[in-house]
Structure 1
Amino acid sequence: LANDSVNQRINETASFFTTATLPGALERFGPGFKAAAMVRLMHSMVRFNIIKRATTDKGGPWDPAVYGIPIPQVDQMPAGTMPAYLTAFKALRKGRKHFTANERAIVELSRYECFLLGLPEELLPAEAPDIIDTMLTYSGTLREGYDDETCGELTRATMSVYRPKDEKLISKVHNRVERSFSKVFFTQAFLGRKDKSKAKEMGVEPRLIDYALFTVGNLFVVPRLIAYRTLQDIPVANKLADKILVKRIKELLVDYGHAEYTTDANQYAPTTQESKQETAA
């Protein structure tokens, strides 16, 4: 994700989770089901090539003895179960251990997406307290430490990518707002609202203009979100809202482009060890 393919990987990730929301997409042999299988195959190919490189290039950036198996299936859990985790957190904060019907739908969609991506059911609890406990346990097992050449570069590459396919003014404006929105959301959701030292260290610290554009983005998104949630509970109107949303999802998928879910080891960015060998040669 830290090289020229970052845009492709972002679009492919967005494409999978967007496709999964289409009606019937996760049914057996549906487009979401097939996409999940392709994602798992792609991860397997990357995993194989990283391990192969680690065994042939002594002193390479990835040491399985230290870091374990690269891209383990359990690492699909944070991204895939984040909607369920946030829903569980919201329910517990309101003093509830059980989900409403709408909350249950979010949780089950999240759980099944992760199941298709290869997570065992034991890591996909269904109730709010268990979801929180599992995610906290996962976080507690992560290796402590921060390497700017890997972690920082991954974050900066993702945050700075130019996603639009053209250089039109409206595309540039959209990209600028999206980039600022991402910085503020990332900082608040994962690094904490008060301590901005880590965001600064990672090179993604939001500035005043980012907060301003984040507010502008919310002024556009939040009213529409509230409107659609309101229409969900109104007979007939909810059917119309569904059609509009499905149409919008399909437009997004066109924008993301066709996801190939492929990888070519020959195009990987050279490792530190490889760079030294090339320089010496």
Structure 2
Amino acid sequence: MAKSSNLLIRPTICIDNIDMEERVHQSSIGHRTHTFRGTWGYVHLPDQKLLATLDPSELTISAYHQSLEQVKSMELNPTMFLPTLPEQEHDKKVWKSQIAKVLKEQIAESTDEDLSIPTSPPEIEVISHAAPDLHMLKLMDASNNSAEGIGQVFESIIQQTGLTGNQFFAQLQPMDGDLATIQNFNCLQNQRAPSSVPEYCMNNIFFQLGASHTLWNISSAIFSHHIGDPSNMLDCGAWQHLEALGFAAHKAIQKKDFTLMVNQMERIFEALLCYCLMVKLDLNLGKLGEERLKLPAD
């Protein structure tokens, strides 16, 4: 990072906690199972094409603080959170493609493929597929699970960047982390306030939630809301569908397996679509999986 100090904006530093267990099968004096709780991370250098589109005057610490002051008086309108007309049309195409996919795979086939609704959702805004320029940080023997720990993490990061404390806190520093890391950083920052010394107030650092953590939190909240109570056989939550599909409901929401959780949500959604389509078409539910129907595309 010392070599990239002339960039318009600092490279993003991404950090997350890590727990590694060294398990000893047969314990003895001085040889026991040990758990290492630390922090890993990497430095993400900004893309040069992106930097060319940025305004340098909007990337300073003063500009950042001024934008935060404007947020305090900003009026929130419910329409800000509603989809626009083009977004609504896009959602309709996604829903139709999902219904068509289940109909084609489980129930029927179209007699005219050229006129049938596509089974793949429409394209979304495509992001750059270029490989990011990443540089791994050394594993840090400090956990970001507390305000004290996050302070130790920053000390280790500064040492690895090759910058002095004054240099590190003199320019806007974007960082990426999960919700717990951000809360611990805010706690540390509040403990050091008020202070006009950059090294103490740390007002040049701004965190943003990582995309994977954000998606996991949203998905987990939605799934947890609909999962229901597996201990109550009269409860008609999503756990009933999982059990019917042959998957243990208590294993559905996994903190360390985002893909598995999303896959189970997709299976439940497709099962519900299949049931609704068979009821709508007045089909015998017991004949699912046998010979498929031939339906016109319209």
Larger helix proportion of the pair? 1
Instruction: Return the index of the structure with the highest Cα Rg.
Output: 2
What TM-score, normalized by structure 1, do the two folds share? 0.23
Report the structure, 1 or 2, having the larger strand content: 2
Question: Normalization by structure 2: what TM-score?
Answer: 0.22
**Higher RCO (C-alpha 8 Å, min separation 6):** 1
